[in-house]
Amino acid sequence: MSGVSSTTLFAMYCYLGYYGVCYLGDEVINPARTVPRSVLLSVAVVALMNLLFCLSIVGVMPWREVIGSEFVVCEFMQRIYGHWAGAAICLLMIWTSFGGIYAMLLTYSRIPYAAARDGNFFRIFGRLHAQKDFPHFALLLMGGLATVASFLDLAEVITALIMARILVQFVAQIIGLMWLRSRRPEVKRPFRMMLYPVPCAVALCGWMFIFLMAPPKYIVFGLLSVVLGCLVFLALARRSRIWPFGRQEQPAPI
């Protein structure tokens, strides 16, 4: 079960870009139509690619060798076409990684930007470039954090990032959606979920399975992320006199 949980965690990491469009909701045309289609299309395409990818590899290399290999794709291509193909696929993988980093920085830079605009983060990250009209300070922040993380072990970085976000983002979104649907039915909801609440229950069980089966240090890291986030929120709420310390809807900027 621990192996299934660990494998599922890394598999979910491969899909994390599926909701990147959600961070660009203010910048897309007709988001109620575009965002769900983008999410579903991304999940379907990545799933198909991963399936064909795995079938291709295990059709050439024994699965026990695949498990023990650190450069499985390079070895796969090298066995079929020779050394030049293994080297070429390495270069293509590096190029693809740069493309993925570019896309992720584009979307994730909108998080500190939106938080700053709402008064929940430092105001400097809410600024836009004078000529290019993009959040350049937020982009530099995310790029700097990514650069620091690149000096650490990749497997540990991926696990820590996922574990921190399971409670802070994924589980919280599921609970928040169900609470909003039951307690605030008058709120306009342009997005629809088929077979509700079955997808919510499946996702909640899946995420909690990954979280509870992880090594203890990552569980502690995830819990500390929640606690630290709550403390920071309470400090900002007290300063800005918003809930639970007041009724002001928009907090004052930092």
CA distance 33 to 17: 18
Whether 29 shows a pLDDT value over 50: the answer reads yes
CB 207 within 8 Å of CB 170: yes
DSSP 163-220: HHHIIIIIIHHHHHHHHHHHH-TTS------TTTTHHHHHHHHHHHHHHHTS-HHHHH
Cβ partners under 8 Å of residue 27, min gap 6:
none
Res. 219: pLDDT tops 80: yes
pLDDT of 248 = 52
Which phi-psi region, left, alpha or beta, contains residue 156 (left: φ > 0; alpha: ψ -120 to 50)? alpha
Residue pair 121/112 in contact (Cβ under 8 Å)? The answer is yes
Q: How confident is the model at residue 170 (pLDDT cuts 50, 70, 90)?
A: very high
pLDDT band at 249 (very low <50, low <70, confident <90, very high): low
Residue 142 clears pLDDT 50, i.e. is over it? yes
The token pair at 153 is 């072990």
For 95, list phi and psi in degrees, rounded to 5: -65, -40
Q: In the predicted model, is pLDDT for residue 254 greater than 60?
A: no
Contact 91, 99 (CB under 8 A): no
**Model's pTM, two decimal places?**
0.80
Specify the amino acid at residue 33: R
pLDDT confidence band for 92 (50 / 70 / 90): very high
